[in-house]
Structure 1
Amino acid sequence: MRVINPIVIGEAQLVSSNVPETDYPAWAAATAYTKGQRVILAHVVYEALVDVPAGVKPGEEVVTAEAPAKWLEVGATNRWRMFDDKLESLTTNPGTISVTVKPGAVVNSVAMFNVSGKSVTVKMVDALEGEVYSETVTLVDAGVTNWYDYFFEPVGVKTDLVLLKLPAYGSANLVITVDAGAGQAAVGHVVVGSRQQIGTALYGTSVGINDYSRKSTDDFGNTVVVQRSYSNRAEFDVSVDTSAVTRIRRLLAELRATPVVWIGEETYEATILFGYYRDFSIVFSGPSVSDCSITVEAII
């Protein structure tokens, strides 16, 4: 089992993107706005809750009981949604999404969540050595075991993936491309960082979801279902070296309030999550090998 601790991707790290940032006009200090108008400021979309006079800057207004908020923060712009730590806020673009990221730190792993397209290509390009890594992953996941399924079962697609074989470079750029052909490319979240080993995820690990839908039944037996989002969860059984227990405990303590990528087994998509651990415990089972259990809940 491994974790990827993300680096922050901001203006200094995002070298280029083919996704235009033209969702709404940029906020202008000299312009007054009417209720419902939206503007962009610092890659964030704001909506006017009331008629807003000129000079009232989104995100900096003083809110009191006598002076309620005039601006509502809606979320990141389309270009920046893929870096906002939310899996359901999608960056979309016709055909392809292609970004170049300069991490500015030693990284060796990339994870992507809620991806829509035909394939994902990740390249690492160093200023001196040129292209030092390139890998293309198809998102088509047929998952068939017989001829009947081959011809009649619907074709599945992968939505989450990790690439763990990048060389450890501190100065190289990453070029990440999602190709959807003639369709709409979409990405929920991209994580770039350095992976750390915890142990070996064992059979017995369980996965599931937390469903936030609401179901209610009245006195006459009529049921109403309000469908809402859901998040993934996993309960990992992990075998760890007893000599590494202190290091692992310290690592997990440091990650207690940090969303990271959790990888039970990279070939099993259901064991790849981006979120927080709810709790963990380590049992000193023997002088060489100990047992660890970690419960992880993904964010949405």
Structure 2
Amino acid sequence: MIILDPIAVSAPGVFVSSNVPEDDAPIQSLTRVYAAGDRIMDPAAHMLYDSKVGVRAPVTISIASPGVINCAAHGLVAGVPVSFASTGALPTGLLPNVVYFVVAPTTNAYSVSGTVGGAAIAFTGSQSGVHNVTAGQNFNRPLTDKTYWLPAGATNRWKMLDTYNNTQTERAESIVLNVKPLAIAQGIFLGNVDGAEIVITSTDPVAGTVYSQATSMQTSNSGSSFYRWLFGRRRRKSYFLTLDLPLYYNATVSITINKPGGVAKCGMCCIGPVEDIGGTYYGLGTDIKDYSTTRFNFDGTSETTERGFSKRMTIDVLLANDLIDYVQEKLAAARQRTLVYIGSKEYGSTVLAGKFSSFKNVIEGPKHSKMALQIEGTV
């Protein structure tokens, strides 16, 4: 069995570039109010967040001194922060996406001030379009505050670099990722891939291009049948694995997933050093754990909520006795980290990124032992 220990691409200096833009949502503004469901982006953490509180409603505005916001049964009390947006122009005195505070509320109307409890603002000039107000307490709130913000996963660029296999980075035609591992990284694993070709290039600043490989993701299903070769459905691998990157510490590795005329997708990208800890016994088993649920109705009909799934593997490894302590310490140290476990390079189903749920070592003789592992793949 071979273990690939992924390097954290988010570590300083490792990530170089990607052709996938990180523009999934606006960056959080600390001077506007958010309604429930509004999505923002934290580019520093490469994460998306959804607002959990706040409401948005249409309003009409009366130009007066002070100005009046008309909204039937609005339910707002004095001091609640609000911000406004319009398909046209707001009256003079109001600016879009600026925080104001409710003053002098009545059942169906209120005025606003620039400060809590301050003087009501007068509205002048003209206005046009449809106006909306967003009200609530969700402004100037840190994203770590789970009362106001719900994590919504990684941005599209970083979905292939998070710890989930079922979340895919997507881009039309191709995905190009450039990383500088800053380590002796021999292996690359790509999981949940939808592409026609994988191109790997490694470039050293002194030696130049030291590795270049293009791999078709199409697999043969013809056997010895000319008919199947002509008319059989084309099959594509959903994973990619290479373990022979040259040993250049300062090299920049370019990973390209091409799908001409379609959308290239990748659920997981791992690059790092590899280590062969021992031979794999025949008899290893693989399966999947599906997290979807099905609810049956009284009349026998059913409704299925489709969710992600994870791969699982049970494997027995022939281990040299002088490696027992080392392997056990390595696994114990990585018990909460995602590693890529490679049962056999010949079978893609025995390659999965995940964590071991248990391992047991049996010392069978003076030179060799048997280690049994159960590995839970990432969702």
Q: TM-score, normalised by structure 2?
A: 0.73
The CA deviation at 1:206 is 1.1
TM alignment of 1:176-187, pairs within 5 A: 176-187=255-266
Aligned with residue 140 of structure 1, among 218, 229, 234: 218
Structure 2 residue ranges without an equivalent (≥5): 55-135
Q: Structure 2 CA distance, aligned partners of 1:132 and 1:247?
A: 32
Q: Deviations over 1:171-228 (max 9, x none)?
A: 11111100001110011110011111211112111111112233455677x2636243
Q: 1:50 aligns with which of 48, 53, 56?
A: 53
**Cα distance, 1:228–1:36 mapped onto 2, change above 3 Å:** closer
- Which among 105, 110, 113 is matched to residue 183 of structure 2? 105
**Shift of residue 30 of structure 1?**
2.3
Q: 2:144 aligns with which of 60, 64, 71?
A: 60
Other-structure match for 1:253: 332
Query: Cα distance, 1:136 vs. partner?
Result: 1.6
TM-score of the superposed pair, with normalisation by structure 1: 0.91
User: Which has the higher mean CA deviation after the structures are superposed, 31-40 or 121-130?
Assistant: 31-40
SS at match of 2:222: coil
Alignment coverage as a number of residue pairs = 293
Hey, what's the Cα distance between the residues in 2 that align with 1:254 and 1:204? 27
Q: What percent identity do the matched residue pairs reach?
A: 30
The answer for the alignment partner of 1:25 in structure 2 is 26
Distance 1:26 1:245, change over 3 A: same
CA contact (8 A) 1:215 1:223 kept: no
Query: What 5-or-longer segments of structure 1 have no aligned partner?
Result: 64-68
Deviations 1:50-71 (A, max 9, x none): 235575244233x6xxxxx222
Aligned pairs for 1:45-194 (under 5 A) are 45-51=48-54, 55-61=139-145, 69-147=147-225, 148-194=227-273
CA contact (8 A) 2:141 2:148 kept: no
C-alpha change, 1:277 and 1:78, in structure 2 (3 Å) is same
Inter-CA distance 13–241: structure 2 relative to 1 (3 Å threshold): same
3-state SS of the aligned residue for 2:160? helix
Q: Give CA deviations for 1:2-32 in whole Å, capped at 9, x if unaligned.
A: 1111111116322111111111112222233
CA distance in 1, matches of 2:308, 2:48: 22
CA separation of 1:24 and 1:216: change in aligned 2, threshold 3 A: closer
Q: With CA pairs under 8 Å and 6+ residues apart, which has the higher RCO, 1 or 2?
A: 1
> 2:8, 2:235 → 1: CA distance?
32
